[in-house]
C-alpha cells in the first residue's frame, strides 16, 4: 500500500463533510432569524427532495425521461417563493464536463412540482450554485463565457462561493460571486461575504453526517460500524467483556441500516412534517455495497444477500475510521495498479 | 497485659447514621488508625444490591441496615509469598442526606483492606458505581478552605504523588524529581505542579494547631480521604463537597444521549479553558495524541487541522461521541445516540487527566 490511496480517501471524506456543512450553512441563512436570535418556524428547508419537472422538461437533452430532480438543498419561504441549490465541493478537471453540472442546475429552472407547500408549487424561486472557492473563479469564468447561449436561466441565478477558514477560529465563508438572490436580507449578507463560525453549528454538524450523494465507502462503513453494528453489539451482555481479537456476531439488514442512518444522521429531522417526497438516505444500493465490502474483508458474511441480511463479526478497533480507510485504500491502490496495467498494454 | 480491643467493641456496637462519625472518631482517639472515606455515585438510591455480591475474590455481605446507613462485611482472598490467604474487613456505606444517588463508603480497617479489598471491589462495579475526580484547582481550594475553616496554624505537606501530562520534547512523566514537599507552602506546591502541566494524584498533609500535629489527612484526585483525626472536619471539608460534585456531575451528564430526546437532538457539553489553549495549531496534535491514550475505546480522527473533529466510541458500553475544537478556548463534546453518565464522566476525566483541565458547562449554539 503506498499511502496515496489512504490520503485520497481521507480527502474525499473531508470534501463530503464540507459539502454537508455547506448545505447546513447555506440553508441557515434563510432559517435563522438574526433579529430574534432563533430559527424561524415559517421557513421550510429540505435536502434531496424529489421534485417533478414540468412536461417541457420531462425529457432531458439526451432524450431520456426525467422522473424526478433532487436538488442538494431547497428553501421554501412564507412568501411562497423559494430557492433550489446545488453544492459542488469539486468540479471535474476537464471543463467540457461542467456543462453537465450546469445542465443539472438549468433543470431546476422550471415550474417544478412537489415543493413542500400547500399546492406543491411556488410563485417563484431562485437557483443557486454553491461552489468551493478553489474552483469559484474558473466556474464563474465558464459561466460568463457560456451564459446566454449554452447556459441559460429564466429565473434568478447566482453562484455563491464557499470556503473553510484555516484560522484558529474555524468558520465557513460564503460570498456571492455572480448574480443575486431575491431575498433582500440574505442577498445583502452574501454580497458582502459572511463568516459562519463552525462552533455555532456544532450540533447540526454532529447530527447530520450524510446527504443524498453517496458518501465515500470508508466513511459509510465507519458510520454503519460505529452507529449501527456497534449499537446492536452493545446490547449483547458479552459486549463489555469482549477482548481485542474476540468477535461478536451481529445480525442486521440493509433496511435496518437505511432506517437507522436515515432517521439519525441525515437531514431527516428537517423533513418530519414534509417527508412525502423525501427519499431514504442512505439508499439501499450504497448500503449493499458497504455490506459486500465487509464480507470481502472477512468481517461479515451474508445470511441472505437477496434479502439484504448480513451477519457482521463485531470486534474492537482502536480507530474505526482508520481501519476502514485502510481496507478501502487497498481497493484504491489495486484499481490504480490495474489502470497503469491497462495504460501500458 | 490484656489491652482493650476498641475496634472489636466498635463493631459489636450498633451504629446510627447521625452518630457514625462520632463513633469512628472515638476509635481514632483510642487506636492508631485512620478512617477512609470513599465518595461515589450510584445508579440506584440504595446499596442493598451489594449484598452477597462478589467481584473476583471479594465477596460482600450486608450485616446491618438502617435508613441511610448500611454495614457490610467484605471477605477477600489474596496471594502472599506464594500462599493463598483470606481475610475479612468491615465497611459502612452512608447515603448522602441531600443527594439520594450519592454515597460514602467508610472503613476504619488497615490500609491493606482498602487497597486489596474495598477499592477493587467498588471499582469492579463500574459503571454502576462511579467514583469522581476533582480538578487541581478545586483540590487546592478545598484544602485552603479546610485550613481557613479550622483556623489551623499550618498545613505541612508530608507526601504527594502527582502526574505530569505530556510536555514538549518529553514523554509522559509519572515520577517526580526530588522536591522537598515539607518546605513548600500549599501555594508553591500547587503552582509547581500546575506549571509542570500536572495534577496531584494524592496529597497528604499534617494539620498543626498550637505547634501540635492534630491530624494527618490525605486527599486523592478521586476525592478519597484518609484521616487519623479531625474526622468531622475532614468529612465536612472534603467529603461533603465531593458528594456535591458527584451529584452535580451526574446531573450534568444525565440525559445527554440523543436517544433520550424524542427529536433525537444532541445535548453537547463544553470544556472551556481559562486561556487560549488552542492558539497554536500544534495544540491540536497534542489533544489528538492525548485522546488516543483513552483505553478501551476507538478514537477516529475525522479532522485534525485546522480544526479538530474526533469520533470516540467507548467499548465499556457502546457510548459514542463527537469531539470538536472549533475555536481557541473550547472543546465541544457531542454525545451521540447512546451516551451513559459513566462514559461521559470517563471521557471528561480522561481529558482533564491527560490533556488539560477546564470548566464544564452545557453548550449553547446560536439561537439557543
Give the mean model confidence (pLDDT) for residues B334-356: 96
Minimum-distance CB partner of B366 among A13, A32, A234 = A32
B258 touches chain A (CB under 8 A): yes
Phi then psi for residue A70, to 5 deg, are -130, 80
Residues 185-244 in A contacting B (C-alpha not used; CB under 8 Å) = 197-203, 205-207, 222, 226-227, 230-231, 233-234, 239-240, 242
Band (pLDDT 50/70/90 cuts) for residue A101 is very high
pLDDT in tens, B300-318: 999 999 999 999 999 999 9
Backbone conformation region of residue A133, classed left if phi is above 0, alpha if psi is from -120 to 50, else beta? alpha
φ, ψ at B287 (rounded to 5°)? -65, -45
Residue A272 has pLDDT above 60, yes or no: yes
Domain spans in chain A, listed from the N-terminal domain onward: 4-206, 217-344
Question: Would an 8 Å CB–CB cutoff place B273 in contact with chain A?
Answer: no
Alpha carbon distance B363, B368 (integer Å)? 9
Alpha helices in A32-113 (DSSP H): 98-108
Q: What is the pLDDT of residue B178?
A: 45
Partner residue opposite A198 with nearest CB, options B301, B307, B336: B307
Nearest CA in chain B to A32: B367
Q: Which residues of A touch B318 (CB under 8 A)?
A: 230-231, 233-234, 239
ipTM of the complex: 0.93
Rounded to an integer, the average pLDDT of B127-140 is 93
**B302 contacts in A (CB within 8 Å)?**
13, 17, 321
Mean pLDDT of A167-171: 87
- Residues B20-45 have a mean pLDDT of 91
Which CATH code fits A217-344?
A: 1.10.10
Residues of A in contact with B264 (CB under 8 A): 207, 263-264, 269
Q: Minimal Cα distance from A198: which residue of B?
A: B326
Identity of the residue in A200, A226, A322 whose CB atom sits nearest the CB atom of B313: A226
pLDDT at A340: 57
Q: Are B306 and A167 in contact (CB under 8 A)?
A: yes
pLDDT at B134 over 60: yes
Report chain A residues whose CB lies below 8 A from the CB of B268: 202-203, 206
Lowest mean pLDDT among A40-54, B201-215, B280-294: B201-215
Element (DSSP H or E) covering residue B277:
none
pLDDT band of B43, cuts 50, 70, 90: confident
Average pLDDT, chain B: 91
pLDDT at A27: 96
List the single residue in A with minimal CA-CA distance to B277. A168
Q: At what angle do helices B341-354 and B282-292 cross, to 10 degrees?
A: 130
- Express each pLDDT in B80-131 by its tens digit: 889 999 999 999 999 999 999 999 999 999 999 999 999 999 999 999 999 9
Considering only the C-alpha atoms of chain B, give the largest distance between any 2 of them, rounded to a whole number of Å: 78
Q: Closest chain A residue to B364 measured between Cα atoms?
A: A200
Chain mean pLDDT for chain A: 93
A323: nearest CA partner in chain B: B300
**Global pTM?**
0.92
Amino acid at each position: 500500500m503506498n499511502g496515496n490511496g489512504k490520503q485520497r480517501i481521507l480527502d474525499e471524506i473531508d470534501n463530503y463533510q464540507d459539502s454537508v456543512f455547506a448545505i447546513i450553512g447555506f440553508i441557515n441563512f434563510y432559517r435563522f432569524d438574526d433579529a430574534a436570535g432563533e430559527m424561524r418556524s415559517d421557513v421550510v428547508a429540505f435536502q434531496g427532495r424529489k421534485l417533478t419537472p414540468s412536461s417541457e422538461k420531462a425529457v432531458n437533452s439526451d432524450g431520456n425521461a426525467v422522473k424526478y430532480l433532487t436538488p442538494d438543498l431547497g428553501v421554501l419561504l412564507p412568501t411562497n417563493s423559494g430557492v433550489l441549490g446545488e453544492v459542488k465541493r469539486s468540479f471535474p478537471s476537464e471543463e467540457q464536463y461542467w456543462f453537465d453540472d450546469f445542465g443539472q442546475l438549468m433543470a431546476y429552472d422550471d415550474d417544478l412540482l412537489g415543493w413542500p407547500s400547500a399546492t406543491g408549487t411556488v410563485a417563484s424561486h431562485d437557483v443557486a450554485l454553491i461552489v468551493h472557492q478553489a474552483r469559484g473563479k474558473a466556474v464563474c469564468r465558464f459561466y460568463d463565457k457560456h451564459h446566454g447561449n449554452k447556459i441559460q436561466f429564466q429565473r434568478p441565478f447566482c453562484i455563491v462561493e464557499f470556503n473553510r477558514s484555516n484560522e484558529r477560529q474555524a468558520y465557513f465563508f460564503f460570498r456571492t460571486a455572480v448574480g443575486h438572490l431575491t431575498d433582500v436580507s440574505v442577498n445583502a449578507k452574501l454580497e458582502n461575504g459572511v463568516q459562519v463560525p463552525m462552533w455555532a453549528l456544532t450540533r447540526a454538524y454532529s447530527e447530520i453526517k450524510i446527504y443524498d450523494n453517496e458518501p465515500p465507502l470508508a466513511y459509510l462503513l465507519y458510520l454503519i460500524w460505529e452507529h449501527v453494528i456497534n449499537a446492536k453489539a452493545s446490547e449483547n451482555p458479552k459486549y463489555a467483556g469482549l477482548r481485542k481479537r474476540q468477535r461478536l456476531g451481529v445480525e442486521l439488514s440493509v433496511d435496518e441500516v437505511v432506517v437507522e442512518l436515515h432517521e439519525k444522521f441525515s437531514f431527516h429531522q428537517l423533513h418530519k412534517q414534509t417527508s412525502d417526497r423525501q427519499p431514504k438516505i442512505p439508499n439501499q444500493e450504497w448500503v449493499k455495497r458497504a455490506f459486500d465490502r465487509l464480507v470481502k474483508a472477512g468481517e461479515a458474511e451474508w445470511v441472505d444477500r437477496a434479502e439484504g441480511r448480513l451477519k457482521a463479526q463485531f470486534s474492537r478497533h482502536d480507530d474505526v475510521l482508520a481501519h476502514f480507510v485502510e481496507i478501502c485504500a487497498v481497493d484504491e491502490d489495486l484499481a490504480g495498479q490495474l489502470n497503469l496495467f491497462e495504460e501500458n498494454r | 497485659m490484656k489491652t482493650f480491643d476498641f475496634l472489636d467493641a466498635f463493631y459489636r456496637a450498633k451504629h446510627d447514621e447521625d452518630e457514625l462519625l462520632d463513633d469512628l472518631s472515638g476509635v481514632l482517639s483510642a487506636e492508631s488508625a485512620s478512617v477512609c472515606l470513599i465518595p461515589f455515585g450510584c445508579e440506584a438510591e440504595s446499596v442493598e444490591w451489594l449484598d452477597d455480591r462478589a467481584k473476583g475474590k471479594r465477596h460482600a455481605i450486608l450485616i446491618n441496615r438502617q435508613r441511610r446507613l448500611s454495614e457490610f462485611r467484605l471477605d477477600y482472598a489474596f496471594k502472599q509469598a506464594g500462599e493463598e490467604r483470606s481475610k475479612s474487613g468491615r465497611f459502612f456505606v452512608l447515603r448522602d442526606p441531600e443527594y439520594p444517588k450519592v454515597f460514602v463508603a467508610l472503613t476504619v480497617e488497615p490500609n491493606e483492606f482498602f487497597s486489596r479489598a474495598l477499592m477493587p471491589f467498588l471499582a469492579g462495579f463500574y459503571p454502576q458505581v462511579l467514583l469522581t475526580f476533582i480538578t487541581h484547582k478545586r483540590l487546592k481550594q478545598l484544602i485552603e478552605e479546610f485550613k481557613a475553616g479550622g483556623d489551623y496554624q499550618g498545613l505541612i505537606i508530608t507526601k504527594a504523588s502527582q502526574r505530569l501530562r505530556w510536555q514538549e520534547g518529553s514523554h509522559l512523566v509519572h515520577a517526580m524529581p526530588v522536591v522537598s514537599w515539607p518546605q513548600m507552602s500549599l501555594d508553591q506546591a500547587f503552582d509547581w505542579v500546575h506549571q509542570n502541566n500536572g495534577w496531584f494524584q494524592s496529597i497528604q498533609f499534617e494539620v498543626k494547631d498550637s505547634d501540635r500535629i492534630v491530624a494527618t489527612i490525605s486527599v486523592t484526585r478521586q476525592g478519597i480521604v484518609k484521616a487519623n483525626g479531625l474526622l468531622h472536619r475532614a468529612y465536612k471539608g472534603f467529603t461533603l463537597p465531593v458528594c456535591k460534585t458527584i451529584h452535580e456531575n451526574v446531573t450534568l451528564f444525565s440525559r445527554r444521549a440523543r436517544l433520550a430526546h424524542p427529536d433525537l437532538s444532541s445535548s453537547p457539553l463544553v470544556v472551556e479553558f481559562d486561556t487560549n489553549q488552542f492558539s497554536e495549531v500544534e495544540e491540536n496534535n497534542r489533544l489528538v495524541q492525548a485522546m488516543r491514550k483513552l483505553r478501551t475505546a476507538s478514537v477516529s480522527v475525522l479532522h485534525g487541522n485546522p480544526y479538530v473533529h474526533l469520533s470516540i466510541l467507548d467499548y465499556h458500553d457502546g457510548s459514542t461521541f463527537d469531539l470538536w475544537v472549533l475555536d481557541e478556548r473550547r472543546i465541544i463534546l457531542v454525545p451521540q445516540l447512546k451516551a451513559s453518565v459513566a462514559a461521559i464522566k470517563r471521557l471528561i476525566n480522561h481529558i482533564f487527566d491527560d490533556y488539560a483541565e477546564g470548566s464544564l458547562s452545557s453548550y449553547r449554539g446560536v439561537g439557543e
